[in-house]
Amino acid sequence: MKFLLPLKVEIPQTMGEWKSGLMFRESLNEDSGMLFIFDEVNYHSFHMKNTTIPLDIAFIDKWGIIESIKELKPLSAEHIGPDSPILFALEVNKGWFKEHDVKVGDKVLSEDVSIEDADGNIFADVIDIIKPEPLRPTKGFIQISEATRLPNYQKVGNIISAALAWRGGNYMIQMFFPSVKKPSRREVQDQVRKVYPGAKLWNYQVDDYDPGEPLVQTGGD
């Protein structure tokens, strides 16, 4: 039986917010946390300098699956990292994962619910954590422009791997952009939403073609 655990998370948007994280705070509300979204899959690590709140951290792979859960000790300068490359990291109050029986192999699932401050600026999203289930890829090849077949990669362009959330599920999709310049986040988001209307783009990166993943051919200049 699958169950959901709603968790309100802050997502750092600026470099200053990214560097400070949960530093200099006296407490963290119950069922709250901070979600870090990296630009690439790698062995990203964390320390607790200037952070007095006892925390646990879940390292999460590109599929949204929890790879490992580790303790972060207050004011420690020791760098704590994952056991394998990850794309996300989720900090919560110490003991939250154990209290809610959240374990390695569970999945972080975005429901794309945003919370705004008094000025209308988004400062937090609500995510759910659920028990393991396989990621659901898009079936076959999807036509966005005039292309209907796997493109000829002698043509100049970029293959983009995009991680996204749509209708209660996490997805990974490949997209071919026939341009020498890496597409912007807005460009990738626009193309993703042609396949998954209203989807939320978690992250994207230039990648090598994987024949085991579905591919979307996008339009270009």
Task: With beta carbons less than 8 A apart as the criterion, state whether 73 and 98 touch.
Answer: no
* Terminal C-alpha separation, the chain: 48
pLDDT over 50 at 184, yes or no? yes
Closest CA to 109 of 96, 91, 128: 128
Q: What is the pLDDT of residues 57-103, one digit of tens each?
A: 999 998 888 999 999 999 999 999 999 999 889 999 999 999 888 88
Q: How do the domains of the chain map onto residue ranges?
A: 5-130, 142-217
Q: Please state the pTM of the whole predicted model.
A: 0.57
Q: What's the confidence (pLDDT) of residue 114?
A: 45
pLDDT at residue number 110: 53
Which CATH number is correct for 5-130, 3.30.70.20, 2.60.120.1140, 3.10.180.10, 3.20.20.220?
2.60.120.1140
| pLDDT over threshold 70, residue 137 | no
In this prediction, residue 69 carries a pLDDT of 96
Read off the amino acid at residue 203: N
Distance CA 9, CA 52 (A): 19
- The pLDDT of 35-48, averaged and rounded, is 90
State mean pLDDT over 187-198. Answer: 87
The average pLDDT across 156-177 equals: 79
Q: What is the pLDDT of residues 198-208, one digit of tens each?
A: 888 877 778 77
**pLDDT for res 1:** 33
* pLDDT attached to residue 84: 94
